[in-house]
Amino acid sequence: MNIGYRLLICLGIVALHFAAFVVPVTELFLIYIILFNPRWFRDFLDRMTTP
């Protein structure tokens, strides 16, 4: 997934939530994870999926 596609997803999330209510902290956290795909989050997901 390239950075342009990630930016479009994030802008869509922000636009959707700005139309309804103020941006919550969890939404900003989700945008950070989508944009930067941090290593600690990938490791967390790997640990969750391996038995």
Tokens of 20: 């309804």
Q: Kindly report the pTM of this predicted structure.
A: 0.52
Q: What is the pLDDT of residues 1-51, one digit of tens each?
A: 788 898 998 999 888 877 777 657 788 888 899 899 899 999 998 998 877
DSSP string, 1-51: --HHHHHHHHHHHHHHHHHHSPPPHHHHHHHHHHHH--HHHHHHHHHHH--
User: Is the distance from CB of 19 to CB of 27 less than 8 angstroms?
Assistant: no
pLDDT on residue 23: 58
One-letter amino acid of 23: V
